[in-house]
Amino acid sequence: MKRLCLLAALAAGVAPAAAQESPGERLPVVRHVLPNGMTFLLLRRAGAPTASFVTHYRAGAVDEWTGISGTAHLFEHMLFKGSTVIGTNDLAAEQGLFPAIDAAADSFTAEFRRGAQADSATLQRLRDRLKQLEDSARAFAVSNELDRILTENGAQGLNASTSHDVTNYYFSLPANRAQLWFVLESDRLRHPVLREFYSEREVVMEERRLRTETQPFGMLYEEFLQAAFRAHPYGRPVVGLASEIQAVSRRSALEYFRRFYGPNNAVVAIVGDIDVEQMKQWATRYFGDLPAGEPHRPVVTQEPPQRGERRILVEFDANPLVMIGYHIPNVRHPDTPALSVLSQLLTGGRTSRLFQRLVVRDRVAAQISSFQAPGGLYPRLFAFQGVPIAPRTTADIETAVYEELERIQREPPTAEELQRVRNQIDASGIQRLQSSFGLAFQLSSSEALWGDWRQTFRDQAALAAVTAQDVQRVARTYFTATNRTVATLVRPAAAAPAPTEGGTR
Amino acid sequence: MRRALIFAALAAAVAAPALAAQDVRTEVQSLRYPALRFNPPTPKRLTLSNGVPVYLLEDHALPTLAVQIVSRRGVANVPDSLWGVAWQADGMLRTGGTTRLTPDSVDKLLEFYAINLFISTDHEQSTASVSGLARYRDQMLDLAFEVLRTPRNDTSRIRVTVGQQQESWRRRNDQPGPVLGRAWSQVVLGDHPLGRSLVTPDELAGFTPERFRWVQERLFCPQNLLIGVSGDFEERDLVRKLEALFRGWPVCKPGLRELPPVRYATGPRIVLVEKDVNQTNIRMGHPVPVRIADSPEYFASQVADFLLGGSGFTSRMLQRVRSDSGFAYSAFSSWGAEVDRDAVFFAGAQIRAEKTVAGLTLMRDVIRSMRTDPPTARDVQLARDNEVNSFVFRFESASQIVGQQLAYAVDGLPADWFDVYLRGIQAVTPEAVRQASERHLKPDELVMVIVGKPAAFDRPLAELGTVTMLPVDSIKR
């Protein structure tokens, strides 16, 4: 009785959020495009005297060609190694050693390519020689000088990340030091030197082991994408396949850079206590003379329609997990808002349908979540991830997910469910304006992916216009058994051999 | 203001003549920065009629509100027999309903109004944070206080928690990082509650509504609390609301204890947990006696940690282990400090299995290098410049500023602690860093805990000393 009254009050107390402009779209962002195509999004806002800088390049793991997986990400690491000035105390001496180092790397790669026939003693000898040569070049390097300069100037959050679609670089500075970003960023973009390349390749292998090979979720996700995408590069891991990381050459990384890092592929957002006119002047002064590069060309490969359910097992010494994925269109498709609302209805919060059923009512799962991945530019997956509570199994989770999908295909979501989602959209539309860094990241990403910084705000606002019928329609369109990929993590049988060493020999 | 003055001075110091044909390094050195004048807003502190301190900082830029309710008491203050109950008391507060509202009703109200309510019972303090749109101020405060004052601990939700915790226990050895964390805590802290982070199956049998209630009403009660409010509100109105919310909340009941004395294990000691992984998880360290205080040695220890392994790529640990050697993706140090007791220094990394012993040796050598090859004046200047130049980032948002004041108050530090800290760091000399490292870093007395596959190691671990095996199933908690 008490409960009914409450809910009635809820429905009456809150005005429905009509499809409207998101508050973000009204931000006074200044879009400044240099003649070479480099785009700057400048936003002055009140608050502490800080400035956040986020650059997105239209260059991701999908743009790699066969045999070099992981290069987009490895190059991202290399852009922190400096330039012809920053990072070295004798460029000529240092670069004079590069041909010998690259030759040693090629010899190693030639032996490595023999796979199972490779001679481990030879491999070790060649690896040692490579290390020795690179150490001799290190004598002329000023390792991590870029970090050092930024650290002494109080930079915060210096980092970068690579995804299937794009690569981004970012940090924040005290606002009075904004010019330092222009000096250093233009320098590393103009004259990058890929020093310490082969030891960084080893670092990336350790990153792969840290995030994928020693982690049940990481391993399952990699295999899940590989099963779902057989043609499109969304199936390749961003960090790279172990065998390819160990064979990437400095030449390939540089070639990747030349193809995709033209200023016309870069979008910079600067948000904080900034002088917008001054930023424009510096943009021209520091980046204006960079020659435009090749325009970014979308991947031509399309994933063919799936011709039947795909199920894989991933053996790993851990308790079971399951991922269930359905192919859906890219983000610009008109069905995207309804799919996002569906995701909220099913797994967004404790009152969502699958959480209520699997976690609260039946105690089948410790966790259930859904997400859309691995990118947004190309057709992708609507995926569920579940953690069963023994003795319940991943099959029990599958059953519940399929039943709830069928239920939503039959019965539309209630008005109250939709209102909850709309209210959450409303709140997050305001909350996402809170941090300068968060705003810079969103503006830069939206412009790089969709050619318009407002697009992400609009997409968010479009969710409010989704109707119960829209949700039902997309549930019927995409959630079929034929369109499904299921990956399950299972323990290897007791007699099975230990897991392999992930490609190293 | 003090801070603004420091900046004007620094800006003058970096100015240098610009050169005609300059390379980028010269250009960086010749950049002239305008002085950064910034007086961060200071939260207003007042006391409610029941004695609860409140920190208020209005910020009307966005129509949002954030309220932090902090208790000076945590799980370690609860008797050992109730450790597991206390560790999960936060989740039960959030999900177990109230005497008036069912668990479902609380969830629905929170999610309908898009209110974020996060409750945490941590080792030495407990927190409830609630935030959302300012127009739902009453809904958010009413619900947060109702949940804290009159929890129901519905048995259906206790069953949910028990199932989830059983599964966490079952999965405790699935990932190498958490295995290392638990093994390290067991080796270094033994049975002390500060070393625990996982509820055992035995403890789950004792999960009852009454026991949860016993813990909850002792952790969250007026004498233990401090409140911080930031965002879009009006002071008088809000204080009136808080007074009303506290009305009739009884005083704290007895039964909690002071933190039991902490005794850390000492080295040298090598403990190996076998796990079939191609990357070895490593932690090495020892107790350190330097306490958080306005003392030159404390500030010197912070600079030493920054240069040794606390500052990423500008630190020796990541430089040597990652950039120079390619052994690991991550490597760091953490020189811990507490206000009222000793703490632990440690270094950690995840190192390629075939470089395990080389990596352990290197990490130990890097720690030793702080004594044998102490930081230069330039190194120390880097750490000092970083602190002073990055200070604005400690004051970026109203909720961050309020949170900082709450943290100082809980730790018994003065409200102007950040000024004291900044001055202390600025006064650190290379000699002070050397002395602190010399006195307190003990590369020959390290406790090393290693999770990995010894068959894949480059050399026998025994070369480093006597190795004790800790089977993964004998990590008790």
Distance of alpha carbon B308 from alpha carbon B311, whole angstroms: 8
- Sequence-ordered list of residues with C-beta below 8 angstroms from that of A237, at least 6 positions apart, any chain: A61, A69, A70, A208, A212, A222, A225, A226
Distance of alpha carbon B242 from alpha carbon B231, whole angstroms: 15
Residue labelled with tokens 């190192």? B351
| Predicted local distance difference test score (pLDDT) of residue B328 | 98
Residue labelled with tokens 């064979």? A247
CA contacts within 13 A on the Cβ side of B55: 27
| Predicted local distance difference test score (pLDDT) of residue A46 | 87
Query: Residue A244: pLDDT above 70?
Result: yes
What's the Cα-to-Cα distance from A369 to each of A343, A344, A353, B108, rounded to whole Å? 9, 10, 11, 18
Q: Which residues of A touch B322 (CB under 8 A)?
A: 203
* Lowest pLDDT segment from A233-237, A382-386, B35-39, B114-118: B35-39
Query: Residue A5: pLDDT above 60?
Result: no
Which residue in B396, B418, B472 has the most chain A C-beta atoms within 10 A of its own C-beta, making it the best mutation to test that interface? B396
Furthest CA-CA distance within chain B = 78
* Lowest pLDDT segment from A31-45, A119-133, A180-194, B20-34: B20-34
- Scanning every residue of chain A, which has its alpha carbon at the shortest distance from the alpha carbon of B96? A360
pLDDT (mean) for A82-102: 97
In 3D space, the residue among B362, B365, B351 whose CA is nearest the CA of residue B456 turns out to be B351
Q: How confident is the model at residue A501 (pLDDT cuts 50, 70, 90)?
A: very low
- Cβ-defined contact of A387 to B11 (cutoff 8 Å): no
- Sequence-ordered list of residues with C-beta below 8 angstroms from that of A228, at least 6 positions apart, any chain: A234, A235, A310, A325, A327, A381, A485
- Cβ-defined contact of A363 to B159 (cutoff 8 Å): yes
Q: Are A72 and A64 in contact (CB under 8 A)?
A: yes
| Predicted local distance difference test score (pLDDT) of residue A20 | 63
- Cβ-defined contact of B382 to A152 (cutoff 8 Å): yes
Q: How confident is the model at residue A401 (pLDDT cuts 50, 70, 90)?
A: very high
Q: What is the pLDDT of residues A324-367, one digit of tens each?
A: 999 999 999 999 999 999 999 999 999 999 999 999 999 999 99
Distance of alpha carbon B410 from alpha carbon B122, whole angstroms: 13
Distance of alpha carbon B439 from alpha carbon B80, whole angstroms: 35
Query: Residue A2: pLDDT above 60?
Result: no
Q: Are A375 and A368 in contact (CB under 8 A)?
A: no
In B15-99, alpha helices (H): 24-30, 83-95
Distance of residue B277 Cα from the nearest chain A Cα, in angstroms: 6
- Scanning every residue of chain B, which has its alpha carbon at the shortest distance from the alpha carbon of A364? B163
Q: How confident is the model at residue A433 (pLDDT cuts 50, 70, 90)?
A: confident
- Scanning every residue of chain B, which has its alpha carbon at the shortest distance from the alpha carbon of A431? B64
| Predicted local distance difference test score (pLDDT) of residue B3 | 37
Query: What's the ipTM?
Result: 0.93
| Predicted local distance difference test score (pLDDT) of residue B22 | 67
Distance of alpha carbon B31 from alpha carbon A50, whole angstroms: 18
Element (H, E) at B450: strand B447-452
Distance of residue B231 Cα from the nearest chain A Cα, in angstroms: 11
Which segments of chain B have a pLDDT < 70? 1-22
pLDDT (mean) for A214-231: 98
Burial A291-327 (b: 16+ CB within 10 A, else e): eebeebeeeeeebeebeeebeeebebbbbbbbbbbbb
| Predicted local distance difference test score (pLDDT) of residue B1 | 34
| Predicted local distance difference test score (pLDDT) of residue A7 | 39
- Cβ-defined contact of A389 to B396 (cutoff 8 Å): no
Q: Are B286 and B446 in contact (CB under 8 A)?
A: yes
CA B185 to chain centre: 16
Q: Is the peptide bond before A174 cis (omega within 30 degrees of 0)?
A: no
In 3D space, the residue among A435, A273, A9, A80 whose CA is nearest the CA of residue B113 turns out to be A9
- Cβ-defined contact of A149 to B61 (cutoff 8 Å): no
For residue A360, give both structure tokens.
Answer: 């609260």
Distance of alpha carbon B39 from alpha carbon B85, whole angstroms: 44
Distance of alpha carbon A58 from alpha carbon A199, whole angstroms: 27
| Predicted local distance difference test score (pLDDT) of residue A11 | 40
Closest by Cβ to B276, choosing from A201, A206, A317: A317
Distance of alpha carbon B86 from alpha carbon B211, whole angstroms: 9
Q: Are A57 and A51 in contact (CB under 8 A)?
A: no
Task: Tell me which DSSP letter residue A166 carries.
Answer: -
| Predicted local distance difference test score (pLDDT) of residue A372 | 97
- Tell me how many residue pairs between chain A and chain B have CB atoms under 8 A apart: 230
Question: What pTM was estimated for this model as a whole?
Answer: 0.94
- Cβ-defined contact of B352 to A147 (cutoff 8 Å): no
Helices (H) and strands (E) in chain A, counts: 19, 11
- Cβ-defined contact of B105 to A50 (cutoff 8 Å): no
Distance of alpha carbon A504 from alpha carbon B279, whole angstroms: 12
Which residue in B392, B394, B395, B426 has the most chain A C-beta atoms within 10 A of its own C-beta, making it the best mutation to test that interface? B392
Alpha-carbon dihedral of residues A490, A495, A501, A504, nearest 10 degrees?
-130
- Sequence-ordered list of residues with C-beta below 8 angstroms from that of B180, at least 6 positions apart, any chain: B273, B281, B282, B283, B348, B449, B451
pLDDT (mean) for A417-436: 87
Distance of alpha carbon B213 from alpha carbon A405, whole angstroms: 39
- Cβ-defined contact of A366 to B168 (cutoff 8 Å): yes
Q: Which residues of A touch B396 (CB under 8 A)?
A: 47-48, 50, 435-436
Distance of alpha carbon A384 from alpha carbon A322, whole angstroms: 8
Residue labelled with tokens 């490593």? B282
- Sequence-ordered list of residues with C-beta below 8 angstroms from that of B354, at least 6 positions apart, any chain: B456, B457, B458
Distance of residue B280 Cα from the nearest chain A Cα, in angstroms: 10
- How many residues are listed for chain A in this entry? 505
Residue labelled with tokens 């480059």? B458
- Cβ-defined contact of B278 to A209 (cutoff 8 Å): yes
Within a 10 A sphere around the Cβ of A406, how many other Cβ atoms?
13
- Cβ-defined contact of A2 to B100 (cutoff 8 Å): yes
Distance of residue A480 Cα from the nearest chain B Cα, in angstroms: 30
| Predicted local distance difference test score (pLDDT) of residue B17 | 38
Distance of alpha carbon A156 from alpha carbon A149, whole angstroms: 12
- Sequence-ordered list of residues with C-beta below 8 angstroms from that of A358, at least 6 positions apart, any chain: A364, A365, A368, A386, A397, A400
